[in-house]
Amino acid sequence: MNKLLLISISLILIFNFSCTNSASSVKSNINAIVIDAEKNYKNYSEDIWQKKDKEIEELTNKFNENRSKYTPEQIEDINKLIGRYSLIKVKKAGNDILEGVKTAGQMLEGAIEALTDTTK
């Protein structure tokens, strides 16, 4: 009987540790992506964004598939990280729009100068 109890307890501990480890791994991987993106997003090429988006998507899917195995704190932390990543994407898009507006303004300025130049 003691042997069966010991085996049962061992299996429960192993299962519990593997679920916790998996949750920590997902959180840790998302955190690493978010920290890197926060530091380097201005220099990311389109290829890097696609790679990061795919990694986030895969980790989010893994998270959602195993959500019942996470603690409420882990769920909250992972959701916050995903939110931070989304904000970085919005910042990048905003910067791209501002750069486009600046470029368009410069082009318009050149066109106006050409139209008003009476020496040509």
Cβ density class 22-36: b for 16+ within 10 Å, e for less: ebeebbebbbebbee
Instruction: Report pTM.
Output: 0.66
Q: Which of 3-7, 48-52, 54-58, 88-92 has the lowest mean pLDDT?
A: 3-7
pLDDT surpasses 50 at 28: yes
72-116 helix and 46-65 helix, angle to the nearest 10 degrees: 160
CA angle in degrees (0–180, nearest 5) for 68-57-90: 115
